[in-house]
Structure 1
Amino acid sequence: MEIATANETRATKSSFFLVIVTYLAFISLGLPDGLLGIAWPFMSTRANVALDSLGVLLLGFTVGYLSTSSTSGKILKFVSLGMLLAISCVLTALSLLIYALSDAWYVMIVASFFLGAGGGAIDSSINTFAASRFSASTVNWLHAFYGVGATTGPLLITLMLTNRLAWYHGYIAVAAIQISLAVLFFFTQKRWQVSSASSAHDEQHSNAAYLHTLKLPVVWLYMLIFFLYTGLEQGFGQWLFTLLTKSRGIAEEQAGLWAGLYWGSLTVGRIIFGIALTRIPVKHVLTGAMAGIVGGVVLFTININTLTTLAGISILGIANAPVFPSLISVTPERIGKEHTATAIGVQISMAMLGGALLPGSAGLLSEEFGLEVIAKVFTIAAIVLALAYLLGANGSKRISRVN
């Protein structure tokens, strides 16, 4: 009995340690996303490219992300999860250093590919590990810690600017954090164990169900939802600083704080909704979130005064908070348990495409119609997102049976 109790205690301590390290990994995922929104105007000037070139950088990131997120299961056959995480963090750190130190545009594009590759490997592998080891509530908190990283990024660069340092010092600081995490993952390799038998079973099931799942109309509807949501969440954060400084005449330090407010609202919202979802049905939370997303974007776009703009930023951040993890959680119910693995895979892939293509397309339109068209694009995306979600929520059982 005493031996069993001792083993349980060691297992509990090991699990707690892994939870903490996993949270740190998600913070590291969010940090680069928060940095780019503030740094891009400075980066584009140094590289002598137009502001709408952000779409090229995002596309390179997305291609890199998809190249590893879609193949992480195969990569794990050759290296351990801990080693994969360590290598990914090193790759991310080197890419961030190139962003900080290079003014060659094509070199930055290559760096964006490897930054995405590092992030994709971390994201997919750590989510797979968490799903097999931790409770649903713990997994939900992972996304909150992503927000912690995304919030810290803008505040870090703003701190550099207010202390008469350059924006790229923020990238160097985050690269140092990534290296530290790489060391941590390397020396804790033995703790990162994923059941290979389970992974093989899941892969076989996924391959068998893939084409059948894609025949379901509801799957395509939710792919659209993920595309629009992630494009809006990421795109707004990436363009917010540029819109405030280049179009609305807000001082850089103030705009940096407002960008931090957006990501901070997203983080606080995920903490709040992580608790609220234990009492409120997820359907009601998502419906309210969609209304908040539309309202927040509209308030920001009409730009009546400083107060309404700030309110729009905050509302949008809070409303975005529960959407991604909650949509993932309702996938088995709305699409079917037998289709869950494949559906989640394509949803996440579409989310990454949306995160690159929607803000990139908005940037291209801004060259012809001015920067404020970006806010209008996000408004249209928010409205279509809300309508698509309502259709999926109210008619998923009916349309999932259509062949």
Structure 2
Amino acid sequence: MSFELDNLEQPFLEDQNKNAEPHDTFHDLEGPDFIKLASLPVSEKYTVEFRGEEIVVDSANWRDSNLLKLQIIASYCNFILFGLAEQTLGTLIPELQAHYKINDLKTGYVFLASVSGYFSMALLTEVCHRRLGVRGVVIMGTTSMTLGYLVLSTRPPFFVFILCYVLSGLGFGSLDAGLNGWMGNLVDLNQLLGILHGCYGIGCMISPPLITHLVDRDVNPWSWNSYYLVLSCVAASCLLFFALVFRRETPAKYEFSVILKETRRQLEDKNASDDETTSESDSSSQAASLSQSLRSKLVWFFSIIMFVYVGAEVAFGAWMVTFLLRVKNLTYKMSSYMATTFWTGLTAGRICLGFVTAHYFSSELSANWVYIVVSLVGYGVFCMFAYTSAVGILFPVVFLTGLFVGPIFPTTIVAAIEILPVKYHASGVGFICAFGGGGGAAIPFLIGLVAQTSERGLKFYPFIIIILFKLLLVAWLLLCVKFRTHKRRSAL
């Protein structure tokens, strides 16, 4: 089926083709009939002329499109890379401190460097999507990560080491915002995003034991920097994969998708005009700039929630090895296995509980409330046993805690996509992810600062995590009260 769209100056909500006869090709001389396009099933495949370019619109249902399956697999591979890279720093803290002769405070600067790059992408997400399209955004992100890890593999001076993590953060930010927003258009959103962020957990689960094995083995042990060469090779592979399967995701297609999705949202809201979640929506079909998104109280509220959550999650995983070494006096290998147990639980939670969210909860709001409460209980139990001689019981505790911590991130992203107007889905969701990344650097840095204050400073680390999750619970309860009548939308 093919639609030729010529004059784009006409309002897209006008019913301009009332008398058109059914046919595979629509010649619309007055302008695009987005209402007709939005009324098609999301599994429909067709081509349109838009901005002088032929746009290939594929099915939004992964069951009907081999290309979409490859794009999803490429996204999953990239999030595994995220996890590998994220836990590389946390696992290598003892090695890095020995090599560069730095303390906990200076180690925290690396986390800040990463988030400075990540947060910079929040300022550029909407511009990059408009000018580069999803294709350009993902290629730019993987290129940044490839170059950053390649330089890190050469054991650069500490100042250059920090700059490389800025470059890595730029890649993280562009890919995180781009892929979350792109996947938000697909059928089975909860399940797909759950698996996507579960792949991050897979990477986090792999890095600690793998690095420990390679660095501590008796025969030909690796130097810490050699692992960064592995990351660079993985990133380069992702770059080639993205360039191949996202080649049709152009700037024009991105703009077309925003207008089409906004039309679908408005048609849906017209049939459910009493839906309270449309309180901030308007008739604009253009993607909002960052400055416009930052005027939305909802964008800021979701950003603060994500800041607290990501900060607590990353800090708990990143400092666990060091905490167990210093406070529990465990071996390096045992400590890394404990961290792996947490990330294993997180991975299982993101992959499995996404299906639970979709089938057993009326909305993401109620699901996340349950996940946050159980996670808080898990952190409390960890705190109870962390200062005793018990070790074995900590393994199931951190696994179960990770199991319920895991789905909070993707479920929050889905809730934001469901509640926010479509025009905020690029710049707004991008800023939410980036602000969360800020927490992923600021909170670990705070714990490093506390650890540096005294020999007992790191003992406060579990209590900081508990306080953060209490704040998260209060914030989410406020959101649940505000949108208590919200029900899950159909695929857009």
Q: TM-score range by the shorter chain?
A: 0.7 to 0.9
**Aligned runs of 1:144-223 on 2, under 5 Å?**
144-163=198-217, 164-188=221-245, 190-193=247-250, 195-198=253-256, 204-207=286-289, 209-210=292-293, 212-214=295-297, 220-223=300-303
- Cα gap change, 1:186/1:224 in structure 2, threshold over 3 Å: closer, same or farther? closer
Please give the TM-score of this superposition, normalised by the length of structure 2.
Answer: 0.72
Greater shift after overlay, 219-228 or 119-128?
219-228
Alignment partner, residue 257 of structure 1: 337
Greater shift after overlay, 94-103 or 63-72?
94-103
Select the structure of larger CA radius of gyration: 2
> Are positions 1:390 and 2:477 aligned together?
yes
**Residues 61-117 of structure 1: CA distance to partner in whole angstroms, max 9, x if unpaired?**
111112224313423455464454334323212322333432522111111100101
**Residues 19-56 of structure 1: CA distance to partner in whole angstroms, max 9, x if unpaired?**
22221122222221121110122112211110232321
Residues in 1 aligned to 2:417 and 2:258: alpha-carbon distance in whole angstroms = 20
Q: How many residues align?
A: 392
Higher helix share: 1
- Cα gap change, 1:219/1:12 in structure 2, threshold over 3 Å: closer, same or farther? closer
- Cα gap change, 1:374/1:98 in structure 2, threshold over 3 Å: closer, same or farther? farther
CA RMSD of aligned residues (A): 3.1
Alignment partner, residue 346 of structure 2: 266
Alignment partner, residue 119 of structure 1: 172
Greater shift after overlay, 304-313 or 287-296?
304-313
1:373 is aligned, of 450, 456, 460, to: 460
> Are positions 1:34 and 2:87 aligned together?
yes
Residue pair 1:66, 1:120 contacting (<8 A) in 2 also = yes
* Residue type at the aligned position of 1:107: V
- Cα gap change, 1:325/1:21 in structure 2, threshold over 3 Å: closer, same or farther? same
Give the unaligned 5+ runs of structure 1: 399-403
Residues in 2 aligned to 1:332 and 1:77: alpha-carbon distance in whole angstroms = 19
Alignment partner, residue 448 of structure 2: 363
Give the unaligned 5+ runs of structure 2: 2-23, 25-43, 47-57, 263-284, 486-492
Alignment partner, residue 326 of structure 1: 411
* Residue type at the aligned position of 2:143: V
**Residues 352-389 of structure 1: CA distance to partner in whole angstroms, max 9, x if unpaired?**
11111111112101111421122221121122222222
Cα drift, residue 173 of structure 1: 1.5
* Residue type at the aligned position of 2:104: L
- Cα gap change, 1:101/1:250 in structure 2, threshold over 3 Å: closer, same or farther? farther
Q: Does the residue aligned with 2:330 lie in a helix, a strand or coil?
A: coil
Residues in 1 aligned to 2:123 and 2:201: alpha-carbon distance in whole angstroms = 23
Residue pair 1:52, 1:360 contacting (<8 A) in 2 also = yes
Q: Does the residue aligned with 2:161 lie in a helix, a strand or coil?
A: helix
Q: Does the residue aligned with 1:70 lie in a helix, a strand or coil?
A: helix
**Residues 147-200 of structure 1: CA distance to partner in whole angstroms, max 9, x if unpaired?**
222222223212313433333332221221112222333344524446233367
Alignment partner, residue 131 of structure 1: 184
* Residue type at the aligned position of 2:91: I
Cα drift, residue 139 of structure 1: 3.1
**Residues 284-317 of structure 1: CA distance to partner in whole angstroms, max 9, x if unpaired?**
4322211222122222223131134323321221
* Residue type at the aligned position of 1:154: P
Residue pair 1:331, 1:340 contacting (<8 A) in 2 also = no
Residue pair 1:363, 1:374 contacting (<8 A) in 2 also = no
Residue pair 1:157, 1:169 contacting (<8 A) in 2 also = no
Q: Does the residue aligned with 2:206 lie in a helix, a strand or coil?
A: helix
- Cα gap change, 1:11/1:366 in structure 2, threshold over 3 Å: closer, same or farther? same
- Cα gap change, 1:11/1:325 in structure 2, threshold over 3 Å: closer, same or farther? closer
Segments of 4+ moved more than 6 angstroms: 4-11
Alignment partner, residue 140 of structure 1: 194
Residues in 2 aligned to 1:146 and 1:84: alpha-carbon distance in whole angstroms = 19
Residues in 2 aligned to 1:119 and 1:372: alpha-carbon distance in whole angstroms = 30
Greater shift after overlay, 73-82 or 322-331?
73-82
Residues in 2 aligned to 1:350 and 1:328: alpha-carbon distance in whole angstroms = 13
Residue pair 1:299, 1:308 contacting (<8 A) in 2 also = no
* Residue type at the aligned position of 2:196: L
Alignment identity in percent?
22
Residues in 1 aligned to 2:293 and 2:159: alpha-carbon distance in whole angstroms = 36
- Cα gap change, 1:49/1:199 in structure 2, threshold over 3 Å: closer, same or farther? farther
Residues in 1 aligned to 2:294 and 2:90: alpha-carbon distance in whole angstroms = 37
* Residue type at the aligned position of 1:224: I
Cα drift, residue 232 of structure 1: 0.5
**Residues 216-268 of structure 1: CA distance to partner in whole angstroms, max 9, x if unpaired?**
xx654433321111101111111111111233211111111111111111111
Residue pair 1:80, 1:189 contacting (<8 A) in 2 also = no
Residue pair 1:213, 1:219 contacting (<8 A) in 2 also = yes
Residues in 2 aligned to 1:344 and 1:94: alpha-carbon distance in whole angstroms = 26
- Cα gap change, 1:387/1:100 in structure 2, threshold over 3 Å: closer, same or farther? same
Residue pair 1:82, 1:186 contacting (<8 A) in 2 also = yes
Residue pair 2:125, 2:430 contacting (<8 A) in 1 also = no
Alignment partner, residue 68 of structure 1: 121
